[in-house]
Amino acid sequence: MAVLLGLLPPDEGAVRLTCDGADFELADLNLASYHSQITWVPQRAIIEPGRLRDIVAPAGLATTGELDAAAARTGFSSVVAEAAHGWDTVLGQGGAGLSVGQRQRLALTRALLDDRPLVVLDEPTAHLDTDTEQVIIDTVAGLRAAGRTVVLVAHRPSLLALADEVVTVTAAAGVTAQ
């Protein structure tokens, strides 16, 4: 994932991207420009302290109705409904006050409201139960239907079934996973 995001160089070979029929090597791109086109949801969501509404839609870029609609699609609406002050509830550093699964749904809600064309999801259902997993599968399908390119890192067969192409990554002979 770090290589695809341009955070680490590949040990060998190159990362090639195709956009509108043109091929590019990631090493030749302006990384700031590349990153400005990516919505990344890591396996453990990065959440700064603040009000839920500001965490999900920084700078007030979404109305409460838009927040509610996105939260309904990710299953985060029940968390907002149970929160003491709804969208104005304040979270601590790292999402203190939410479970790991709720943090993941918050990050996915934020991704829905972001219009960047490439969405990179690292194990988006890792901390979720089966019912919530289906909500996330529907969310991923909705992102694709909206014309966004989705790259998933996943082990669960239900997520792999969404893919147009599956790439299996294994350690090279003699290399131990860390």
Instruction: Tell me, yes or no, whether 80 and 65 share the same domain.
Output: yes
Question: Does a structural domain hold residue 129?
Answer: yes
Q: How many domains does the chain have?
A: 2
The tens digit of pLDDT for each residue in 14-54 reads: 999 888 889 999 999 999 999 999 999 998 888 999 999 99
Same domain (yes/no): 144, 90: yes
| 16 and 55 assigned to the same domain | no
Across-strand partners of 120? 40, 151
Same domain, 48 and 119: yes
- Is 74 found in the same domain as 22? no
Token output for 113: 């409201």
Neighbours of 130 (CB within 10 A): 9
Whether 178 is in a domain gets the answer no
DSSP line for 146-161: TT-EEEEE--SHHHHT
Task: Kindly state whether residue 75 falls inside one of the protein's structural domains.
Answer: yes
The per-residue pLDDT for 110 is: 93
Q: What is the residue range of 14's domain?
A: 1-30
**What confidence category does residue 175 fall into, taking pLDDT thresholds of 50, 70 and 90?**
low
